[in-house]
A = this chain, B = another copy of it.
Amino acid sequence: MARFRDLTLVPVIVLLLAVGAVLDPIFLTSGNLTNILQQQAAISLVVLAEAMILISGKFDLSLESTVGMAPALAVMLVVPAAAGGFGLGLPAVLVIPLCLLVGAAVGAFNGFLIIRFQLSAFVVTLAMLIIVHGLQLGPTEGKTLFQLPDSILYLGSATWLGLPAAIWIAAVLFGAGSLGLGYLRLGRSLYAIGGNADAARAAGIRVDRVLWGVFVLGGVLAALAGILETGRLGAIGAGQGVGWIFMVFAAAVIGGVSMDGGKGTILGALTGVLVIGLVQNILTLKGVSGFWQPVVYGGIILVALMISRIAGGKAQD
């Protein structure tokens, strides 16, 4: 029983596949399905990060800004001034480590404020959402970076064994996340912390340290999402990642992750991502008018939410 609670969205996914297939012959082709997965790969990493943070009872809005800022800053550190960089002359191979490092630093700073200063996670990460985006806008002056080192483009654009590398990466990370949260003591401790932090502390879990680690990991995953997105788009615009966070939350929550902490699974979050990806794809294929698209889209999220409520059987929070 408990095992299947994660998968309340599976019927929704099946339904969407069926509806899509009826509406458009293109829909069920492997090309289109691959496209859907590839399009969701980057955002799914942010969902993975947010799911872990939510499960441990916290909140991070700033991830969306890290998606743009971490790769932008890393690129500026390595490219010459003529290409929009700082002209520091750092070697180009460092761009990915630097990017992940920037993500980790943002996560660590969030964790520092939230855990050490015991500030509200919502407002801290909201402020950081603004600040981190500003840290991209400021140095780039809002310009798109498009002379990028090849290494940062590779992951988001390569194909491995006939599938985009981004899909493999997301799949592996979701697998790892799912196993980690299911079978690692450290992973299980996120549930304990999110469920009752005092009890977790009494049980000897190093609550602060674990939470901090989760924030850092979240930042790193967001930075990696930024790398995939950069490779897919071939440039880093000022808007990269902007506006994602709502979709990220929607995916996690319809996938069964509770906003109150302690509840939900990585697999569930993945189904949430897939639902959102399928809906977007179907709406695009059908060419629903841009004006009315939000209504259809929001409506489908509501329906998915209701189905997951009915299938899950429990009140949500």
Residues from chain B with Cβ under 8 Å of A258 in the complex = 120
A55 to chain B, nearest CB (A): 15
Are A131 and B315 within 8 A (Cβ)?
no
Is A253 interfacial (CB 8 A cutoff)? Answer: yes
Residue of B nearest to A246 (CB): B126
Contact status of A131 and B298, CB under 8 A, knowing A249-B126, A250-B126, A316-B118: yes
Is A293 interfacial (CB 8 A cutoff)? Answer: yes
User: What would 11 more interface pairs be, CB under 8 Å, given A123-B253, A130-B301?
Assistant: A113-B302, A118-B316, A119-B306, A119-B316, A123-B316, A126-B250, A128-B302, A129-B246, A131-B302, A134-B294, A140-B291
Are A305 and B134 within 8 A (Cβ)?
no
Residue of B nearest to A296 (CB): B134
Is A210 interfacial (CB 8 A cutoff)? Answer: no
Residues from chain B with Cβ under 8 Å of A301 in the complex = 123, 126-127, 130
Residues from chain B with Cβ under 8 Å of A317 in the complex = 120-121
Contact status of A128 and B315, CB under 8 A, knowing A259-B120, A291-B134: no
Are B124 and A305 within 8 A (Cβ)?
yes
A241 to chain B, nearest CB (A): 14
Residues from chain B with Cβ under 8 Å of A302 in the complex = 113, 124, 127-128, 131
Residues from chain B with Cβ under 8 Å of A133 in the complex = 294
The count of chain A contact residues (Cβ–Cβ below 8 Å) is 50
Contact status of A128 and B316, CB under 8 A, knowing A120-B259, A249-B123, A253-B123: no
Between A and B, 19 residue pairs with Cβ closer than 8 Å are A117-B306, A117-B309, A118-B315, A119-B305, A123-B249, A123-B305, A124-B305, A126-B250, A127-B298, A130-B294, A130-B298, A130-B301, A131-B295, A131-B302, A134-B294, A134-B297, A138-B289, A138-B295, A141-B291
Is A235 interfacial (CB 8 A cutoff)? Answer: no
Are A250 and B134 within 8 A (Cβ)?
no
Is A299 interfacial (CB 8 A cutoff)? Answer: yes
Residues from chain B with Cβ under 8 Å of A126 in the complex = 246, 249-250, 301
